[in-house]
């Protein structure tokens, strides 16, 4: 049962391939989201089928999930979905980067699917938590990617 979802967009002052590589670098996860304690893919560079162990805090509660990369279009789009646990809520996150001159438009969309009674009760709350988190992350992503660009820093996805 689909619960709800959201779409957040922002303009990043860097080229789309650089922004994509920045977000694809697991080391940036705690920089853009202080709730993240660990983000560990089973291999780099990430690609379709990569499994990611993610540990974070939601409402102060430690959470551990495993997501799988479902789609990977280098420099343009990545889609991840949690596979463990799948219940009570399955979450699909889509990150898209569209060129906009020397900059890019970054879109983060999330869809939530509830399973059973607990999913129907918890799902909307998880969606609201993640949406508020996404809004705050957009601000941090913009600042962090711009700083990395100014510093001429390389991301792990660059090789």
| Tens-digit pLDDT profile for residues 132-144 | 888 888 899 999 9
What does the pLDDT read at residue 92? 95
On the question of pLDDT at 55 being above 50, the answer is yes
What does the pLDDT read at residue 119? 86
Position 15 confidence tier, pLDDT thresholds 50, 70, 90: very high
What does the pLDDT read at residue 158? 45
On the question of pLDDT at 48 being above 70, the answer is yes
- Of 8-17, 83-92, 120-129, the range with the lowest mean pLDDT is 120-129
What does the pLDDT read at residue 123? 85
d(CA 35, CA 133): 9
Q: Indicate the SS3 state at residue 126.
A: helix
Structure tokens at 142: 């913009």
d(CA 97, CA 9): 10
| Domains, the chain, ordered by start | 2-152 (3.30.530.20)
Q: Indicate the SS3 state at residue 45.
A: coil
Across the chain, mean pLDDT equals 90
On the question of pLDDT at 155 being above 60, the answer is no
| Verdict on whether the full-model pTM lies above 0.75 | yes
């Amino acid at each position: 049962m689909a619960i709800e979802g959201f779409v957040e967009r922002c303009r990043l002052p860097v080229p789309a391939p650089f922004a994509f590589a920045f977000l694809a670098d697991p080391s940036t996860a705690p920089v853009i989201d202080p709730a993240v304690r660990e983000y560990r893919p089973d291999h780099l560079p990430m690609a379709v089928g990569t499994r990611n162990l993610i540990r974070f805090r939601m409402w102060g509660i430690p959470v551990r999930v495993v997501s799988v990369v479902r789609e990977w279009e280098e420099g343009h789009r990545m889609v991840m979905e949690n596979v463990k646990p799948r219940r009570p809520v399955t979450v699909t996150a889509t990150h898209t980067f569209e060129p906009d001159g020397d900059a890019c438009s970054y879109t983060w969309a999330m869809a939530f699917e509830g399973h059973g009674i607990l999913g129907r009760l918890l799902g909307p709350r998880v969606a609201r938590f993640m949406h508020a988190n996404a809004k705050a992350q957009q601000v941090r992503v913009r600042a962090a990617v711009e700083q990395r660009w100014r510093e001429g820093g390389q991301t792990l996805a660059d090789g």
